[in-house]
């Protein structure tokens, strides 16, 4: 049985047929090989020959650039041989320069281990003496000094670097010889986390400069809409892009499968996934299935095995789950089973997306849109053994993004990928790294202003007045009693931390915002697949107590949002609509929560939590009077239309900037502020702003267009979770008016089209810019 | 803004006035901030639209600056709050000797409460008194700047160092020669080889003997400590015996107080040196973090003197590496390596089965009979010093200075005590 056979089944089976909304077939591509400017050394050449490898065009391009001393970002797909593309030129350099060192950064231990194994093999074969080693939190104390002194290639992760920088005197030999920094899976470093990493890298470069080295970067990422901008934001350096993929692949079939083809659906997306999995496995396709959560992965596996057992025990045993929580031996066993073909069906969470060496399979099923096109392509990219036809199936959930793609498949295949955002201006983030930098070497206002691309003249005295920095003749010295690198968390913005305890054991920690939202008194909380009830929330000692529970209801907080504009940084007029971007102050007040079973509200309880106030960035626009009049005259709910517009925009923002719903918030008001104009705000839900609203502001026309399509083409009557209902609406999704929403969004689109057909430039009419970041 | 008359700007926003960060705004900033909060209600006069646009631009820039300042003061406070909650020791229930994951970083809760109370009392008592008034010392200046020096003199028993006796002891230990174990020693003794110089006649052990004698001749105590340490162990009493190669004046007794466990400033440098039979303790105190460089320079110079040997308590793991790290932080020169006697190591070897605790305060109690009164626990020194830095009240410094001084004195006394004992014992 082959992929073609399964496709035929999907097309002919009446149940499947209704749900298959789209099939995108990509023709096979042959290999495209490349030419190196200079031949390789005999050792490296024979390494390739022995493995039967001929270098593809993108590998040669990358090698040529790296040899020429340029910083390179490689965005070709998974399994295109990116690792070789940077290992080769680095090995070459290390062969010729005995003092040279290289640093490889990985986001997970498993990836680091895989890379180490590859490096060791290459080293043995080529006869190079680089002594590659891992240096991270698990490296025993006794080995650390030896590795620092002797390893010419060190594989580590950002968290470790964050801590060792204050020990840089012990690393002098390594840093002074550092020629290359390789950052693999770099697209993971985006958003708040990425912004922290961006400053960490600037700290690292500052230390390198101190020891006289200026290393070259190689970034390896998934496909992004803005690779060069991203690379430059992450590292502060200029890059060249290598994106033309020369690796071969067979015919690729991508199926869009919608269990909610009729709006309501007959069964859950996960049950339908299980059926698809079983069909593929029964037809002899080795299949990888991605589920959104650990619990779902387990459930799908259990159901699939139950059904499979009716056919044969052997079939049932060949289906397994795979996730990060398994012991290493278990994972190795499954990986081996995947490689030798005994494991026919593997159900995983997104962990596998991260390049663990499981080889390629025949089919991939993705249960629920993973949140970004980037991830979807990466997961789908696991299908297709060399040259063979492959199958990927995206099974949609009942939410706006998933349904949007199901109904507008071209948007998925034609749209360029998302923008990965890194904000190097957020003062809350960079101030922390400034403190760390001061603890590493005294800060100099001028030269370190350049290191961090900021003006430091204001922030330094402020940190000093908090007794954390002290100006001395040598520069600004860190004088805090706590250790700076311990105070700065890479995955967050400074704020209070709440601890979640279950029977005294620490489950996880949360920021105050998240705690108010998800772990308030009486909330039902999900953690790694287990359900908990919050029994106590102590704001003074920042502790939340939970107990395990097994209830059939869930909770949703009710929130009131207040907003005031602090600064308008930019304005533009898009087809008559006043749009703006600037700093705002948001107050979020959780007043109560709903208890729901399924879609029914069983009860509403009050909450007494203090309001959360924070400064952030937002874009907003004002709906003109004529639209308002039209809508009111048609007897529609104008406020409901504004609210729906807000929801639709938030739902679709992830299409353009990589974020998820929780990273952004919104507010709509038919009469906002003193001027009383109908306004819709969308803001970054992080203190100081994180660049999301800023990017969306740039892309507003496209965002409006997609939002309009989403709502207009939704087959529901009055609005539903797949268009304008938001799962996180603090107002309980009231008021909402689908028709009014369409008119508000539609009006903008209509004007855009009118403009276009009238041959006008599609530039906005008046752009009044106040340069952001100007400080007196 | 340089334009006469009144003007009005309609800001394209509305809302409540911006909340101020009362904790740290200076008066001036506060006033400007409240102006922003009032949203500039000025009356309109007839100005051209160009000027209005210009004004609105300037006002926006003005408000941008104001808001930037407010953001920054908020940030300063946020970090301070977070760092304030960090502590590098645990407070344990009294008697809980099993402690936690951290081995030495704990303070018993009564000790902790007492210390916090004492801190409060000191702040009250020393209100408005300056460092110079409370501490008799003098300001010193060097290449690193200024800092404050306190000196005190202490009479402690100093043993007699007999260099020749030491050399004789070494000569008698033929197992120091490479290849000579206990069995071989017995055989050699039987054949009349009792001292290392004797082995110069022995065909097999001649070169080994040469090596040892050359080493002794080079007169480098660090080298000899290594030689003996390799044969026995680094904390063997014989290694301590190498101290006899020095004059009492050579030793630098060294103990530091810092603002944390690493990568923070050293706030007090305690240095003890024997001069004319007494122990002179010099403490270089930072009245301000900017004075760290001068104190480092002074310490570095002392350690660079000829014939110097440094004596510490746990200094191999803490005080010396910490000092070198701070010197590197400021880009200052590192003093050459000198022989290092770490009394903790020798104490551990000698007394680990005899005393339950090997902390300096415990040993000084058991061995020297010293009981400190109103002492601040070592782990809490950082918060005492920080209180002084924040408030300018030098009360918290008093127990810190006393603590450090006593540390140096006890260190010296323990060192000499052990040397005396090892002479008698060996």
Tens of pLDDT, residue by residue over B294-304, are 999 999 999 99
pLDDT at B302: 95
Alpha-carbon distance A399 to A380, whole Å?
Answer: 21
If phi > 0 it is left, if psi is from -120 to 50 it is alpha, else beta; for residue B127 that is: beta
| A80-94, B20-34, B208-222: segment of lowest average pLDDT | B20-34
* Tokens standing for residue A81: 């041989």
Please say if the pLDDT value at position B12 is more than 70. no
Largest separation between any pair of C-alpha atoms in chain B: 119
Could you give the residue ranges of the DSSP H alpha helices within A165-263?
172-176, 191-210, 227-235
Instruction: Tell me the three-class secondary structure of A651-712, residue by residue.
Output: HHHHHHECCCHHHEEEEEEEEECCCCEEEEEEEECCCCCCCHHHHHHHCHHHHHHHHHHHHH
Element of type H or E holding A216: strand A216-220
Query: Is the Cβ of B24 closer than 8 Å to some Cβ of chain A?
Result: yes
- The residue of B23, B76, B267, B379 whose CB has the most chain A CBs within 10 angstroms, and thus the best one to mutate to test that interface, is B76
pLDDT band at residue A443 under the 50/70/90 scheme: very high
Q: How far is B307 from chain A (nearest CA, A)?
A: 27
| A207-221, A324-338, A379-393, B384-398: segment of lowest average pLDDT | A324-338
Please say if the pLDDT value at position A402 is more than 90. no
The rounded mean pLDDT for chain B is: 81
pLDDT at A545: 92
* Tokens standing for residue B347: 């104490």
* Rg over CA atoms, chain A: 27
pLDDT at B424: 59
Q: In chain B, helix, strand, coil percent, each to 5?
A: 50, 15, 35
pLDDT tens digits, A605-647: 999 899 988 889 999 999 888 888 888 888 888 888 889 899 8
* Rg over CA atoms, chain B: 31
Please say if the pLDDT value at position A262 is more than 90. no
Most confident option among A755-769, B97-111, B401-415: B401-415
- CB–CB of A477 and B290 under 8 A? yes
Which one is predicted more confidently, A562 or A661? A562
- Determine what percent of chain B is predicted with pLDDT higher than 90: 47
- Going by C-alpha positions, the residue among A486, A491, A383 that lies closest to residue A429 is A491
CB B10 within 8 A of CB B66: no
Chain B (222-281) residues lying within 8 Å, Cβ to Cβ, of chain A? 259-265
pLDDT tens digits, A350-377: 766 555 666 778 999 999 888 788 888 8
Query: Is the Cβ of A511 closer than 8 Å to some Cβ of chain B?
Result: no
- CB–CB of A483 and B12 under 8 A? no
- CB–CB of B145 and A473 under 8 A? yes
| A125-139, A583-597, B51-65: segment of lowest average pLDDT | B51-65
| A253-262, A753-762, B414-423: segment of lowest average pLDDT | A753-762
| A158-167, A569-578, A660-669, B95-104: segment of lowest average pLDDT | B95-104
The rounded mean pLDDT for chain A is: 86
- The residue of B28, B79, B86, B142 whose CB has the most chain A CBs within 10 angstroms, and thus the best one to mutate to test that interface, is B79
pLDDT at B141: 96
pLDDT band at residue B408 under the 50/70/90 scheme: very high
- CB–CB of A487 and B82 under 8 A? yes
Alpha-carbon distance A307 to A652, whole Å?
Answer: 37
pLDDT at A508: 80
Q: Which of A462, A580, A770 sits opposite B75 (nearest CB)?
A: A462
Q: How far is A421 from chain B (nearest CA, A)?
A: 22
Please say if the pLDDT value at position B159 is more than 80. yes
* Tokens standing for residue A443: 């800060």
* Mean pLDDT across A252-268: 86
Could you give the residue ranges of the DSSP H alpha helices within A97-190?
109-126, 141-150, 158-164, 172-176
pLDDT at B70: 60
3-class DSSP assignment, residue B51: helix
Which one is predicted more confidently, A763 or B342? B342
Q: What is the DSSP string of A479-529?
A: --SS-HHHH--TTS-S--EEEEEETTEEEEEEEHHHHHHHSSTT-EEEETT
pLDDT tens digits, A510-539: 778 888 988 999 999 887 667 899 999 988
* Mean pLDDT across A88-98: 94
Q: How far is A8 from chain B (nearest CA, A)?
A: 60
Query: Is the Cβ of A611 closer than 8 Å to some Cβ of chain B?
Result: no
pLDDT at A375: 83
Which one is predicted more confidently, B32 or A1? A1
- The residue of A165, A482, A498 whose CB has the most chain B CBs within 10 angstroms, and thus the best one to mutate to test that interface, is A482
- Helices A57-67 and A82-96 sit at what angle, rounded to 10 degrees? 30
CB A59 within 8 A of CB A81: yes
Could you give the residue ranges of the DSSP H alpha helices within B14-160?
27-37, 49-84, 109-125, 131-134
Decide the pairing of beta strands A390-395 and A469-472: unpaired
Chain A (554-593) residues lying within 8 Å, Cβ to Cβ, of chain B? 563-569, 571, 580, 583, 585
* Tokens standing for residue A18: 């209704």
Residue B141 bridge partners (DSSP): B146
CB B326 within 8 A of CB B295: no
- CB–CB of B263 and A478 under 8 A? yes
Q: What is the DSSP string of B319-370?
A: HHHHHHHHHHHTTPPPPPP--EEEHHHHHHHHHTTT-S--SHHHHHHHHH--
Q: How many CB atoms lie within 10 A of CB B425?
A: 9
pLDDT band at residue B371 under the 50/70/90 scheme: very high
pLDDT at B423: 65
pLDDT at A761: 44
Chain A (168-187) residues lying within 8 Å, Cβ to Cβ, of chain B? 169
pLDDT tens digits, A25-41: 988 888 999 999 999 99
* Mean pLDDT across B61-89: 70
Q: How far is CA A116 from CA A46, A133, A171, A728, B223, in A?
A: 21, 7, 20, 43, 40
- CB–CB of A427 and B71 under 8 A? yes
* Tokens standing for residue A480: 């805090």
Instruction: Tell me the three-class secondary structure of A310-368, residue by residue.
Output: CCCHHHHHCEEEECCCCCHHHHHHHHHHHHHCCCCEEEECHHHHHCCCCCCECEEEEEC
Query: Is the Cβ of A462 closer than 8 Å to some Cβ of chain B?
Result: yes
pLDDT at B293: 96
* Tokens standing for residue A261: 């083809």
Alpha-carbon distance A291 to A74, whole Å?
Answer: 28
pLDDT at A298: 86
Element of type H or E holding A297: helix A294-309
| A73-77, A227-231, A425-429, B363-367: segment of lowest average pLDDT | A425-429
Alpha-carbon distance B40 to B49, whole Å?
Answer: 18
CB A172 within 8 A of CB A211: yes
Burial of A440 (0-12, 13-18, 19+ CB in 10 A): buried
Decide the pairing of beta strands A677-684 and A664-672: antiparallel
- CB–CB of A563 and B15 under 8 A? yes
pLDDT at B347: 93
pLDDT tens digits, B255-284: 999 999 888 999 999 999 999 999 999 999
What does the buried/exposed string (b/e) look like for B50-78 if buried means 16 or more CB atoms within 10 Å of the residue's CB?
A: eeeeebbeebbbbbbbbbbbbbbbbbbbb
| A64-78, A204-218, A758-772, B20-34: segment of lowest average pLDDT | B20-34
Alpha-carbon distance A610 to A520, whole Å?
Answer: 12
This model of the complex carries an ipTM of: 0.77
* Tokens standing for residue B316: 């191999």
- Going by C-alpha positions, the residue among A713, A642, A644, A682 that lies closest to residue A404 is A713
Q: Residue for token digits 């801190």? A: B119
If phi > 0 it is left, if psi is from -120 to 50 it is alpha, else beta; for residue A387 that is: left
| Cα A553 off chain centre by | 30
Alpha-carbon distance A616 to A686, whole Å?
Answer: 6
Query: In chain A, which residue's Cα lies nearest the Cα of B259?
Result: A481
pTM of the model: 0.81
Q: Which of B63, B86, B293 sits opposite A482 (nearest CB)?
A: B86
pLDDT at B363: 94
Partners of residue B147 in chain A, C-beta under 8 Å: none
Partners of residue B261 in chain A, C-beta under 8 Å: 483
3-class DSSP assignment, residue B201: helix
Q: Look at chain A and count its residues.
A: 776
Chain A (469-488) residues lying within 8 Å, Cβ to Cβ, of chain B? 470-474, 477-487
- Going by C-alpha positions, the residue among B230, B40, B161 that lies closest to residue B423 is B161
- CB–CB of A567 and B260 under 8 A? no
pLDDT band at residue A750 under the 50/70/90 scheme: low
Chain A (415-444) residues lying within 8 Å, Cβ to Cβ, of chain B? 427-428, 431-432, 435, 439-442
pLDDT at A219: 97
* Mean pLDDT across B393-410: 96
pLDDT tens digits, A532-564: 999 999 888 788 999 998 888 888 888 888 999
Residues 6+ apart with CB under 8 A from A252: A25, A26, A383, A384, A389, A390, A392
Angle, vertex CA A177, rays to CA A176 and CA A178, nearest 5: 95
Residue A420 DSSP label: P
Alpha-carbon distance A19 to A5, whole Å?
Answer: 18
Q: In chain A, helix, strand, coil percent, each to 5?
A: 40, 25, 35
Q: How far is CA B393 from CA A315, A325, B310, B311, in A?
A: 77, 53, 33, 33
Chain B (132-191) residues lying within 8 Å, Cβ to Cβ, of chain A? 145
pLDDT band at residue A587 under the 50/70/90 scheme: very high
Chain B (84-103) residues lying within 8 Å, Cβ to Cβ, of chain A? 84-88
């Amino acid at each position: 049985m082959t992929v073609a056979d399964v496709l035929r089944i999907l097309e002919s089976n009446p149940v499947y047929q209704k749900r298959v909304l789209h099939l995108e077939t990509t023709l096979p591509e042959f290999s495209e090989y490349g030419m190196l400017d200079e031949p390789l050394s005999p050792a490296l050449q024979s390494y390739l020959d022995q493995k039967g490898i001929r270098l593809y065009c993108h590998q040669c391009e990358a090698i040529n650039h790296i040899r020429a001393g340029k910083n390179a970002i490689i965005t070709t797909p998974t399994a295109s041989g990116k690792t070789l593309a940077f290992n080769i030129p680095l090995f070459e350099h290390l062969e010729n320069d005995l003092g040279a060192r290289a640093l490889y950064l990985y986001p997970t231990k498993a990836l680091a281990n895989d890379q180490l194994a590859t490096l060791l093999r290459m080293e043995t074969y080529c006869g190079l003496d680089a002594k590659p080693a891992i240096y991270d939190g698990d490296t025993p104390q006794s080995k650390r000094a030896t590795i620092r002194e002797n390893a010419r290639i060190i594989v580590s992760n950002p968290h470790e670097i964050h801590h060792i920088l204050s020990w840089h005197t012990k690393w002098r030999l390594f840093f002074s010889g550092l020629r290359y920094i390789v950052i693999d899976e770099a697209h993971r470093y985006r958003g708040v986390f990425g912004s922290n990493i961006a400053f960490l890298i600037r700290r690292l470069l500052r230390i390198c400069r101190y020891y006289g080295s200026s290393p070259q970067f190689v970034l390896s990422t998934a496909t992004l809409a803005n690779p060069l901008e991203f690379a430059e934001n992450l590292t502060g350096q200029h890059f060249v892009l290598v994106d033309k993929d020369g690796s071969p692949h067979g015919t690729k079939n991508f199926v869009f499968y919608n269990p909610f083809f009729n709006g309501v659906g007959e069964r859950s997306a996960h049950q339908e996934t299980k059926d698809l999995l079983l069909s593929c496995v029964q037809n002899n396709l080795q299949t990888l299935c991605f589920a959104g959560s650990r619990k779902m992965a387990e459930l799908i596996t259990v159901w699939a095995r139950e059904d499979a057992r009716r056919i044969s025990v052997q079939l049932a045993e060949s289906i397994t789950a795979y996730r990060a929580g398994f012991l290493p031996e278990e994972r190795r066993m499954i990986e081996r089973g995947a490689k030798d073909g005994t494991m026919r069906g593997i159900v995983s969470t997104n962990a596998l997306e991260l390049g663990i060496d499981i080889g390629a399979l025949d089919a991939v099923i993705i249960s629920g849109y993973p949140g970004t096109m980037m991830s979807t392509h990466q997961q789908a990219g696991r299908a297709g053994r060399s040259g063979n036809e492959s199958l990927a199936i995206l099974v949609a959930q009942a939410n706006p993004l998933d349904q949007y793609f199901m109904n507008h498949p071209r948007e998925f295949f034609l749209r360029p990928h998302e923008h990965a955002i890194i904000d190097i201006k957020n003062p809350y983030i960079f101030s922390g790294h400034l403190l760390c930098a001061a603890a590493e070497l005294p800060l100099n206002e001028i030269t370190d202003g350049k290191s961090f691309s900021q003006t430091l003249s204001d922030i330094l005295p402020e940190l000093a007045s908090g007794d954390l920095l002290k100006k001395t003749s040598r520069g600004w010295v860190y004088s805090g009693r706590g250790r700076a690198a311990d105070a700065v968390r890479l995955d967050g913005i400074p704020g209070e931390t709440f601890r979640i305890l279950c029977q005294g054991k620490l489950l996880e920690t949360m920021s105050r915002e998240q705690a108010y939202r998800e772990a308030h008194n009486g909330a039902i909380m999900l953690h790694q697949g287990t359900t908990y009830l919050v029994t106590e929330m102590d704001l003074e000692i920042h502790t939340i107590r939970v107990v395990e529970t097994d209830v059939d209801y869930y909770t949703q907080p009710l929130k009131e949002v207040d907003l005031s504009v602090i600064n308008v940084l930019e304005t533009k007029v898009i087809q008559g609509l006043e749009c703006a971007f600037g700093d705002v102050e948001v107050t979020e007040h959780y007043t109560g929560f709903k208890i729901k079973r399924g879609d029914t509200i069983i009860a509403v309880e009050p909450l007494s939590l203090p309001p959360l106030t924070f400064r952030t960035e937002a874009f907003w626009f004002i709906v003109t009077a004529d639209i308002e009049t039209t809508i009111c005259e048609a007897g529609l709910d104008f406020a409901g239309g504004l609210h729906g517009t807000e929801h639709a925009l938030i739902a679709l923002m992830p299409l353009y900037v990589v974020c998820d719903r929780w990273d952004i918030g919104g507010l709509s008001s038919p009469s906002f502020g003193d001027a009383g104009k109908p306004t819709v705000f969308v803001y970054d839900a992080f203190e100081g702003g994180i660049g999301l609203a800023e990017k969306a502001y740039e892309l507003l026309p496209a965002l409006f267009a997609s939002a309009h399509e989403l709502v207009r083409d939704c087959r529901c009557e009055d609005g539903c979770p797949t268009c304008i209902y938001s799962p996180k609406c603090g107002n309980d999704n009231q008021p909402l008016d689908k028709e009014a929403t369409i008119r508000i969004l539609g009006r903008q689109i209509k004007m855009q089209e009118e403009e276009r057909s009238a041959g006008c430039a599609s530039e906005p009419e008046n752009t009044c810019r106040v340069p952001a970041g100007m400080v007196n | 803004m340089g334009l006469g008359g009144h003007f009005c700007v309609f800001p394209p926003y509305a809302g409540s006035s911006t909340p101020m960060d009362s904790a740290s705004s200076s008066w001036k900033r506060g006033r400007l901030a409240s102006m922003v909060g009032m949203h500039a209600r000025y009356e309109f006069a007839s100005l051209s639209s160009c000027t209005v646009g210009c004004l609105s631009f300037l006002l926006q820039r003005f408000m941008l600056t104001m808001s930037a300042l407010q953001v920054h003061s908020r940030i300063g406070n946020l970090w301070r709050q977070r760092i304030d909650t960090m502590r590098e020791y645990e407070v344990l229930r009294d008697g809980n000797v099993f402690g936690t994951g951290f081995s030495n970083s704990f303070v018993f809760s009564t000790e902790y409460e007492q210390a916090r109370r004492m801190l409060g009392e000191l702040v009250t008592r020393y209100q408005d008194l300056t460092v110079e008034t409370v501490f008799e010392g003098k300001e010193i200046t060097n290449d690193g700047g200024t800092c404050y020096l306190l000196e005190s003199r202490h009479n402690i028993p100093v043993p007699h160092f007999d260099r020749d006796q030491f050399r004789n002891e070494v000569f008698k230990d033929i197992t120091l020669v490479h290849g000579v174990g206990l069995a071989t020693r017995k055989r050699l003794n039987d054949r009349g080889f009792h001292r290392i110089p004797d082995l110069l006649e022995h065909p097999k052990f001649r070169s080994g003997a040469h090596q040892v004698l050359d080493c002794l001749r080079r007169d480098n105590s660090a080298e000899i400590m290594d030689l003996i340490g390799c044969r026995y162990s680094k904390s063997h009493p014989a290694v301590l015996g190498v101290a006899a190669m020095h004059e009492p004046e050579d030793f630098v007794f060294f103990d530091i107080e810092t603002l944390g466990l690493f990568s923070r400033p050293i706030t007090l440098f305690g240095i003890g040196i024997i001069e004319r039979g007494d122990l002179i303790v010099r403490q270089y105190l930072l009245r301000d973090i900017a004075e760290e460089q001068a104190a480092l320079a002074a310490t570095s110079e002392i350690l660079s003197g000829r014939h110097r040997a440094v004596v510490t308590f746990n200094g191999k793991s803490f005080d010396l590496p910490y000092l070198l790290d701070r010197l590197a932080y400021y880009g200052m020169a590192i003093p050459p390596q000198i022989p290092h006697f770490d009394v903790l190591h020798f104490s551990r070897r000698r007394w680990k089965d005899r005393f339950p605790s090997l902390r300096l305060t415990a040993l000084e109690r058991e061995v020297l009979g010293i009981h400190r009164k109103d002492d601040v626990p070592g782990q809490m020194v950082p918060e005492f010093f920080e209180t002084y830095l924040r408030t300018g009240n030098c009360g918290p410094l008093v127990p810190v200075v006393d603590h450090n001084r006593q540390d140096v004195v006890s260190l010296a006394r323990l060192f000499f005590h052990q040397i005396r004992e090892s002479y008698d014992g060996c």
